[in-house]
Amino acid sequence: MVAVLLPLLAAVTLTAPPAAAATRAAVPTAALTEVTNFGTNPSNLRMYLYVPAGVTAHPAVVVAVHYCTGSGPAMYNGTEWAQLADTYGFVVIYPSVTRASKCFDVSSPQALKRGGGSDPVGIKSMIDWVTRTYSADTGKIFATGISSGAMMTNVLLGDYPDVFAAGAAFSGVPFGCFATTDGSEWNSACANGTVTHTPREWGDLVRGAYPGYTGRRPRMQLWHGTDDATLRYPNFGEEIKQWTDVLGVGQTPAATDTPASGWTRTRYGSTGDQAPVEAISLQGVGHNLYTYGMASRALTFFGLGTSGPAPQPQPGACRVTATTSAWSTGLTGSVTVTNTGTTTINGWQLGFTLPAGQTITNGWGATYAPSSGAVTATNASYDGTIAPNASVSIGYQANHTGNSAAPAAFTLNGTACTSS
């Protein structure tokens, strides 16, 4: 097979510590351990497991799936999932491919059907083994992966919606996009971003993996770099179309913000940290986008820890005063937000719509995205806390084409505020 997916960062190719074999008995803690004889395994995957010394009763389970040319031990060494497990007490499964390409099967008809065979069946057997051995919480099983592993994350959530609570896919493609019928592992049309469907068509591919299933569907977090030359950026938009349809939420973001420089995060279906679909676009970043710290953000999306962006508590009530001071083609806007509720707000996003023709050129007290239309202002590091009856003031400078009015309506963390 051609060299398909680029290797990850050099850090991910470090040599793993020796792995000891294990049977159904509980494995050693605080060490990467290989588990054998874990169940049905049609594609001869290997199973590596990390159990922290402080594993909780009925732990959550994270399945961390490697990239092409990688392995379970490389994923263990190159990501911080094991360190996060030490902090929060969950168990991490690292599946490992044995076929020559070291890519997961996300192409064959067997892989794209629940119980159809190939890699998804082996990974499901690993989860079952951990659930039996550690009495894991079956409501807190999650999948995450990079590149080929991101594609497998999409596949796992499609094949086994009743197993997973959520997934986080770093540089992937939609479920079914890589499908082939000739035995090939590679789909150039999908990789190049030329496979497009309507949201309903993408959603039907997922629903077709488990016909007749009407239960809850797992939430999905998606990550992609705009300069990805391996699995090109249009796949990101197609994934969003697919999972918003599967989860029955609109295509228009409920919230948009910039959690880090060059990042654009959109949330669909709700504005909080556990929205049904969350998508993070990284401007100017290529295929190897994963860096330390991103797993903490995925963990927050999963709801397993407090690392990453702070949750957004809903205020009991809020009041906003907004004014503008204009000149020929520009203006400054001043906005004061008052917490009129009875509980402290720790972390906030203020939503409002700029009048037509206005475009923000800079701001203070918050970050603003996008620069026109429906804008979300996200607190700065120094003004994220608003005590009851306290206020914060923010502002922005904007260009205008004639209408210099202030916005008339505001929401704070999704709750409508009164205006004065």
Burial 49-86 (b: 16+ CB within 10 A, else e): bbbbeebeeebbbbbbbbbbbbbbbbbbbbbbbbebbb
Give the DSSP letter of residue 150.
H
* Residue whose C-alpha is closest to residue 291's, from 301, 280, 277: 280
Task: Examine the residue annotation and report whether 147 is marked as an active-site residue of this protein.
Answer: yes
Sheet holding 255-257, edge to edge: 32-35, 46-50, 91-96, 61-65, 141-146, 166-170, 219-225, 277-282, 263-268, 255-257
Residues whose CB falls within 8 Å of the CB of residue 50, separated by 6 or more in sequence, listed in order: 31, 32, 33, 76, 81, 82, 85, 91, 92, 94
Burial grade of 25 (CB within 10 A; 0-12, 13-18, 19 or more): exposed
174 preceded by a cis bond (ω within 30 of 0): no
**CA-derived radius of gyration, the chain:** 23
- The dihedral through the CA atoms of 263, 266, 270, 274 has a sign that is negative
Q: Which of 71, 108, 147, 171 is catalytic?
A: 147
Active-site residues, by number, are: 147
